Amino acid sequence: MKGTLTGNALGVLIILTLQILSVTCEISRVHQLIYKNQIPAKEWVKPQSGAITLSEGEQIALEVTNQLLPPPELSQKISDELKLIKYKYRVVSKISHQRKWVPGELISTKITAEQIRQVNSSSEYGPLVNVTTIDLLPFYIVSILSFNKPYNPLVLGEMLKFQYGFSSSPNSVYYDGDDIFYDLSSKTYIFKRRGCVDQEAVSTDSPPPRRRNDGVTCGEDSKHYWEFVVTDDDNVRLVKEYDIDGDGNRSFNRKYNSLAIIN
């Protein structure tokens, strides 16, 4: 009798373990597909209906500062400068910034119903426009909180942790395709394009692009980068241009670099 009981318990344990393993496998398979870019930019958890979409300038400004909301002046500056770069360098005109997380949304596996009520009705960050809970596994419930302002989830998460004690994380977007990064300290815009680039970064006042024939290795996993700064007199300067191959090796293209000033 005792042996049977132990056997049953063991069976249940094995089944439970297998279930958890298969869920984990499913998640990591999805991750792999996303990283291989077979799935386009994807919110890990779907943004709630009514999620706020920011302009490219606002989203970048929010991501690169420690502000709770997009700082208006920086947002406008980034937006204007991106417009200028994309106008002067047509080769990057179709590249846009991919958001790293959904603004105004938090995911938490720790928050209690009482804390949700407090955040909604008595915190300075409420009201909540939506709360969705998902039972991912037994005893593993995920709550997605959607606020009515496009808060920076990292900053908001810190504040809520401090005031209410629960931890949370942003509703992240996994993406490894074309993108724009902004480096606040050097005021540099880094444009990234996946795959091979067969034309030079020509500005609108340069001669038309030629096919690249320089023998630079360019595999499927290669990425091409351009770095720009915008000077005070609204001139766009291509600072660097390079490829990074699938092994992470960086190569400067001599021909392209004749157009660039290396800092």
Ligand X SMILES: *[C@@H]1O[C@H](CO)[C@@H](O)[C@H](O)[C@H]1NC(C)=O
Nearest to 54 by CA among 106, 108, 98: 98
Q: Is 102 in the site for ligand X (CB under 6 A)?
A: no
Question: 6: burial class by Cβ within 10 Å (0-12, 13-18, 19+)?
Answer: exposed
Question: Could you tell me the smallest distance in angstroms from the CB atom of residue 67 to ligand X?
Answer: 25
Q: Is 127 in the site for ligand X (CB under 6 A)?
A: yes
Q: Is 122 in the site for ligand X (CB under 6 A)?
A: no
Site string (241-260) toward ligand X, x via CB under 6 A: ------x-x-----------
Site size for ligand X, by CB under 6 A?
13
Question: Could you tell me the smallest distance in angstroms from the CB atom of residue 118 to ligand X?
Answer: 10
CA dihedral 44, 129, 50, 55 (to 10 degrees): -80
Question: Could you tell me the smallest distance in angstroms from the CB atom of residue 205 to ligand X?
Answer: 35
Q: Is 172 in the site for ligand X (CB under 6 A)?
A: no
118, 120, 133, 148: which one binds ligand X (CB under 6 A): 120
Question: Could you tell me the smallest distance in angstroms from the CB atom of residue 102 to ligand X?
Answer: 11
Q: How far apart are CA 26 and CA 174, in angstroms?
A: 16
The torsion angles phi and psi of 229, rounded to 5 degrees, stand at -125, 150
Q: Which of residues 130-169 bind ligand X (CB under 6 A)?
A: 130-132
Q: Which of residues 32-51 bind ligand X (CB under 6 A)?
A: 46, 48-50
Compute the half-sphere exposure of residue 6: CA atoms within 13 Å on the CB side of its CA: 3
Nearest to 99 by CA among 62, 135, 67, 126: 62
* Nearer CB in complex with ligand X: 66/122: 122
In this structure, the chain runs to a length of 263
For 62-77, b where at least 16 C-beta lie within 10 A, e where not — what string? Answer: bbbbeebbbbeebbee
Tell me which residues touch ligand X (CB under 6 A). Answer: 46, 48-50, 120-121, 127-128, 130-132, 247, 249
